[in-house]
Structure 1
Amino acid sequence: MKKWDSHFQLGDTVTAEQLEFFDKHGVIVFRNFISKEKVATYISELKRLESLWLSEQRDKVNGIPLKYGKDEHGNKTIQRLCFTSLYSDPLHQLLEEPRLKALMAFLNPYEGRIAENEKDGLVINNYINTPNSTFTQMGWHTDSPRDLFLGQKIMPMLNVGIHLDECPFENGGLRVLPGTHKQNILKLLFGKKYFIDNNDDDREVGFDMHAGDLSVHDGRLWHRVKQSPKFGEESRRRVMYVPLVTGKYKPKDENSRTPFYHRFTGKVHH
């Protein structure tokens, strides 16, 4: 397992070097995508939505279950929020950011779009390592079987993570197997035990993530979230995930049914 350094910055367009890097590895990290002030704004929006949805005892948004857990003081907390930009002006404005649209170049030759009201919308993951936390790590997986569960062919998609906390490599976080976005369908489906396998892999890489950084990975890439060795507040990692998708437009609303894979995994994806 090793750490990759990243020196990329995201401008109004993606450079040839960045396209080549992503095509080869299936992952790229851009530094300082948003300012510290914006990070603080989005954290306060996360807290506002969490307290609102806790008070409403809401269990789903547009058919997608919210993931509940407890903090180190035993207080109920929401560890995975979905479709957040539909309930927050600052988060909705973030999805209008032109530099996010520039990332569509990684989906060429497919036409990409930001799935604000598709899939699970803008997800905010709130990982914390406490005895009562239900969300401390996530086993190896790709995002592609969701398409198969829904009876669709596997379409390219990007998972774009906007990181709201400092997370050095040693503190766990995103791990990927570079290049596996080009694997065949058998390796894609059976290369590892989905979500159950949390083991280190000699080929895996991770990054030092800083608050305000942006990561992009191809949905077909094997990836996981490694548990933090720290506990309580020190282990907290908040990441917003913007899905960039291709294929048929499939919006969801409050009448949408819960996709059946949510019922048996218990380990909902970012």
Structure 2
Amino acid sequence: MKKWDSHFKLGDTVSPEQLDFFDKHGVIVFRNFLDQEKVATYISELKRLEKQWLDEKKDKINGIPLKFGKDDQGNTTIQRLCFSSLYSNPLHDLLGDERLKALTAFLQPYEGRIAENEKDGLVINNYINTPNSTFTQMGWHTDSPRDLFMGQKIMPMLNVGIHLDTCLFENGGLRVLPGTHKQGMFKLLFGKKYFIDNNDDPREVGFDIYSGDLSVHDGRLWHRVKQSPKFGEESRRRVMYVPIVTGKYKPKDENSKTPFYHRFTGKVHH
């Protein structure tokens, strides 16, 4: 298992070097996308939304279930908030950032767009490792079978992670198998046991991720979230995921049905 460093910065356009790196590996990390003032704003929005949704006893947004857990004091928390930018002006404004739009270049020749009200919208993952946590890691998977579940062709998509907490390589976090975004359909579906397989892989790489960094991976890339060896606040990992998608526009609203794959798994995706 290897650690890769990153020297990339994201501007209003992506550079030829960045395009080449992403094309080859299917993953890229940009340093200091957010300053610490912005990070603090988004963390306070996350806390506000979590409290509001718990008070309102919401269990799903636009048909997508919220995921609940307990913090180290035993209080109920929301571990996965979806469509969060539809309920927050600062988060909505973030999705208008020109630098995020620049990332659509990684999908060429397809036209990409930020899916604010499609898929699960802006997802915020809010994990903390406690001795009785149920959802502290995520086995190997790609993001593509969702398309198959929905009866669609697998389309290229980007999963963009905006990291609110520092998560160094030794503390778990995102692991990927570089280059597997170019695998054939059979490997995509059967290369590993989806979500069950948590084993280290000699080909995998990870990064030191710092608060304010941004990561991008191709949805067809094999990846996982490795469990933190720490407990409590030291293990807290808050990441906002922006889906950048292609293909037909498929917005969701409060009348949208729950996709059936949510019924048989509590642990499908980020």
- Same fold, TM-score > 0.5, yes or no: yes
Cα deviation, residue 74, structure 1 = 0.4
1:80 and 1:136 mapped to 2: Cα distance? Answer: 12
2:203 and 2:128 mapped to 1: Cα distance? Answer: 26
2:57 and 2:63 mapped to 1: Cα distance? Answer: 15
Cα contact 2:129–2:235 (8 A) shared by 1: yes
- Aligned ranges for residues 210-225 of structure 1 at < 5 Å? 210-225=210-225
Aligned residue for 2:32? 32
1:135 and 1:98 mapped to 2: Cα distance? Answer: 34
Cα contact 1:69–1:132 (8 A) shared by 2: no
1:135 and 1:66 mapped to 2: Cα distance? Answer: 13
Q: Stretches of 4+ moved more than 3 A in 1?
A: none
- Aligned ranges for residues 118-197 of structure 1 at < 5 Å? 118-197=118-197
Aligned residue for 2:227? 227
2:267 and 2:74 mapped to 1: Cα distance? Answer: 21
Cα deviation, residue 269, structure 1 = 1.0
Cα contact 2:83–2:123 (8 A) shared by 1: yes
Q: What residue identity is the alignment partner of 2:252?
A: K
Cα contact 2:160–2:214 (8 A) shared by 1: yes
2:125 and 2:55 mapped to 1: Cα distance? Answer: 19
Aligned residue for 1:79? 79
Cα contact 2:195–2:268 (8 A) shared by 1: no
1:191 and 1:248 mapped to 2: Cα distance? Answer: 28
1:241 and 1:63 mapped to 2: Cα distance? Answer: 18
Aligned residue for 1:198? 198
Cα contact 1:127–1:137 (8 A) shared by 2: no
- Aligned ranges for residues 84-123 of structure 1 at < 5 Å? 84-123=84-123
2:155 and 2:139 mapped to 1: Cα distance? Answer: 22
Structure 1 unaligned residues grouped into runs of 5+: none
1:137 and 1:165 mapped to 2: Cα distance? Answer: 16
Cα deviation, residue 91, structure 1 = 0.1
Aligned residue for 1:67? 67
> Residues 150-174 of structure 1: CA distance to partner in whole angstroms, max 9, x if unpaired?
0000000000000000100000000
Identity of aligned residues (%): 86
1:38 and 1:234 mapped to 2: Cα distance? Answer: 21
1:242 and 1:175 mapped to 2: Cα distance? Answer: 18
Aligned residue for 2:264? 264
SS of residue matched to 1:265: coil
Cα contact 2:162–2:214 (8 A) shared by 1: yes
SS of residue matched to 1:238: strand
Is 1:44 paired with 2:34?
no
> Residues 20-56 of structure 1: CA distance to partner in whole angstroms, max 9, x if unpaired?
0000000000000010000000000000000000011
2:16 and 2:261 mapped to 1: Cα distance? Answer: 38
Aligned residue for 1:7? 7
> Residues 106-150 of structure 1: CA distance to partner in whole angstroms, max 9, x if unpaired?
000000000000000000001211133232111100000000000
Is 1:55 paired with 2:55?
yes
Aligned residue for 1:239? 239
SS of residue matched to 2:33: coil
Q: What residue identity is the alignment partner of 1:148?
A: L
Structure 2 unaligned residues grouped into runs of 5+: none
- Please give the root-mean-square deviation of Cα atoms over the aligned residues, in Å: 0.6
1:195 and 1:265 mapped to 2: Cα distance? Answer: 10
Cα deviation, residue 87, structure 1 = 0.1
SS of residue matched to 2:22: helix
> Residues 34-83 of structure 1: CA distance to partner in whole angstroms, max 9, x if unpaired?
10000000000000000000011110000000000000110000000000
1:203 and 1:128 mapped to 2: Cα distance? Answer: 27
